[in-house]
Structure 1
Amino acid sequence: MTIAETIENKLRAELAVAHLQLENESHMHSGPATDSHFKLVVVSEGFAGKRLVQRHQLIYRVLADELAGPVHALAMHLYTAEEWQARNAEVMPSPNCLGGSKADQ
């Protein structure tokens, strides 16, 4: 099972997911990173009444093993269905990496 599949399976098992989008953005980062940088969009009524930090903490708890190991970066966009609809079901694209790899020096 890939890291992406593991992430998706864990989130679907723990949350009432209405929409889940996981993009591997490792190719946008300098250095040899593979399967280590992801952008996550989750729409769930489980986020209702929770502040943004509480939503992030929930995801951190569910994905603790992955974040302690192979996943270096996880951009999270976490919404209720109402919030997602108000955004027209869109998130901004992630910026390209600006460097910082030892290979760039």
Structure 2
Amino acid sequence: MIAEQIHDELVRTFAPELLDVINESGNHNVPKGSETHFKVVIVSEVFAGQSPVARHRAVNKALASQLANGVHALSIQAHTPAQWAERGGQVPDSPPCLGGSKADR
């Protein structure tokens, strides 16, 4: 399963204190059971001193194989442990899909 691949790669790369890989594919116009849209919530000391853009680039680099092979969308919430504590361990809900496909336009 793609979600497990994402989880395992992020554990290897970032040794996170917290990691949640959420399959949000069901919120989109894809076949039932798809693994194409994910939200990743990751808390790691590795992110200390990195900008949000650098963190996203690092996660995208770690997941390059998955992104090239079926993952269409990846929402990334990457925090240090201190930032996570400041947020109270909360991540905003993903917005609803406005989607459809190019064929619908």
Is the shorter-chain TM-score for this pair beyond 0.5, marking a shared fold?
yes
Deviation at 1:94, TM superposition (A): 0.5
Which segments of 5 or more consecutive residues in structure 2 lack a partner in the other structure? Answer: none
**Deviations along 1:11-41, whole A, 9 cap, x unmatched?**
1011121000111000101243710000000
Q: How many residues get paired?
A: 104
Residue pairs, 1:38-57, within 5 angstroms = 38-57=38-57
Question: 2:19 corresponds to which residue?
Answer: 20
What TM-score, normalized by structure 2, do the two folds share? 0.92
Aligned to 2:53, the other structure's residue is in SS state helix
Deviation at 1:95, TM superposition (A): 1.3
**Deviations along 1:17-69, whole A, 9 cap, x unmatched?**
10001110001012437100000000000000001111011111110010111
| Counterpart residue identity of residue 61, structure 1 | K
Query: How far, CA to CA, are the matches of 1:103 and 1:20 in structure 2?
Result: 36
- Residue 38 and residue 62 in structure 1: after superposition, are their counterparts in 2 closer, same or farther (change >3 A)? same
Question: Aligned residues: percent identity?
Answer: 45
Query: How far, CA to CA, are the matches of 1:31 and 1:68 in structure 2?
Result: 18
Deviates more, 1:92-101 or 1:17-26: 92-101
CA contact (8 A) 1:31 1:101 kept: no
Query: How far, CA to CA, are the matches of 1:104 and 1:89 in structure 2?
Result: 38
Supply the RMSD in Å over aligned alpha carbons: 1.5
Point out 4+ residue stretches in structure 1 off by more than 3 angstroms: 102-105
Question: 1:99 corresponds to which residue?
Answer: 99
Aligned to 1:61, the other structure's residue is in SS state helix
Query: How far, CA to CA, are the matches of 2:39 and 2:57 in structure 1?
Result: 16
Query: How far, CA to CA, are the matches of 1:31 and 1:37 in structure 2?
Result: 9
| Counterpart residue identity of residue 69, structure 1 | N
